[in-house]
Structure 1
Amino acid sequence: MAYYSNLLLVEDDIALASWIMEFLRNEGFGVVHVERGDLVVNAMRKEHYNLILLDLMLPGLNGIEVCKRVREFSNIPIIMLTAKVDELDEVVGLEVGANDYVTKPVRPRALLARIKAVLRDREMEKTISKDVLNFGKLTIDKSSKRVTLDDTEVPVSTSLFDFLWLLASNSGQVVSREEVFQVLKSREYDGQDRRFDVMVSSLRKLLNDDNKHYERIKTIWGKGYLFVSDAWDN
């Protein structure tokens, strides 16, 4: 089955997690499951996800704290799952960055509808205002293919711009080499071609990220590239 969205399910109730995974996979979603809140950030570093289903009461780190940490580097949609019905819990969850809130017992079709609605809203956001991306002192304008940093235009080639745009459009998410080659070269990655590693080095030099501790554009070993959205303020 070809999955059209990849979801991260964070739930310590194994029985509940099992039927949610089975149901959503039958609906065409890819689902990865972790049982602890303190495993979420690491899971996101390893793989690209389109949405997180996040339980509120978790071992290791509760859902509120997980949501706060994720929002430090990613705007990925988050739907919180909880057995609590207190309105205050819902308000707190939304205030720390959750996109929606579902109470248990979870109804399969209702959950599916919420997931599709949140993903649809995210796609609409991308369509409406994504010709210009702003990250602190960095601005990337797709229509004019211009990049400015600290109000100074940065000269970039068309290929460098397209690569930067791809990374920045997926800020906070690791973009695999396979995805880069598919999007920019319309072919599969052969496991040998290092042209985009060279281009990352060029972008770092142009965007003042050329030191031994790369903060703005990271290479995630064995995975791909990560554009850090909150590293452009200084």
Structure 2
Amino acid sequence: MIEILTPTELAHARGTGALVADILRTVRSRSTVGTSLLDIDRWAKDLIVEAEAQSCYVDYAPSFGRGPFGHYICTAVNDAVLHGLPHDYQLADGDLLTLDLAVSRNGIAADSAISFIVGDSAPAESVAMIEATERALHAGIAAAGPGGHVGDISHAIGSVLDEAGYPINTEFGGHGIGSTMHQDPHVSNTGRPGRGCPLRPGLLLALEPWVMADTAELVTDADGWTLRSATGCRTAHSEHTIAITEDGAEILTLPSAG
């Protein structure tokens, strides 16, 4: 299903997007050396409930997972990159942490992810990988606009990741979003321009470039959810929800002022 949002629904999407970004900003500020991933999950739950919103994850049970997910935020550390199931692990100095959050409020969902280094140690290779996903994300956003195609976005993302030297996995990527978290179209992290679904005003997309340092192969943890690099290398993931507008693309998952 591909949804085209009305102006009223788009206004709700802006509110949900800001909420997601604000929660990620708050949780990131609290995620220090010694923090448990279960504490992060509890903070996310409290902030979602306080905002009278709904988690898109807690009851999430797709065919590829061992569902329901049962938690409120994805917490992926070091070689974990997607669907990181929170567990009793305390963050260490230099850990590369990815937080991925999807929330629904007023009937519209938004989805965003950030990767960052915990503590004072910042391995140069990890920083470079995070920055590459952020550049790819912004390249994808710049390529999004009415009259274009999903392939334009995929090509822009993939060009940045390829130039940075990272293998690209095409099993998981970005997606449409709206009244539900995961919708068509699929937005691969590499592709050919001019191909795929046309971009129309009112279409919401979650763009999420992610990479693993030296492989494109994923393995699944025994928990049935957490996806890791097959070689044990580090990973990074950046994501924004955007709206296609008459003028281009609007980033919805930016923190509110203050």
TM-score of the two chains, using structure 1 as the length reference: 0.27
Q: Which has the higher contact order (CA 8 A, sep 6+)?
A: 2
Q: Which one has the bigger helix percentage?
A: 1
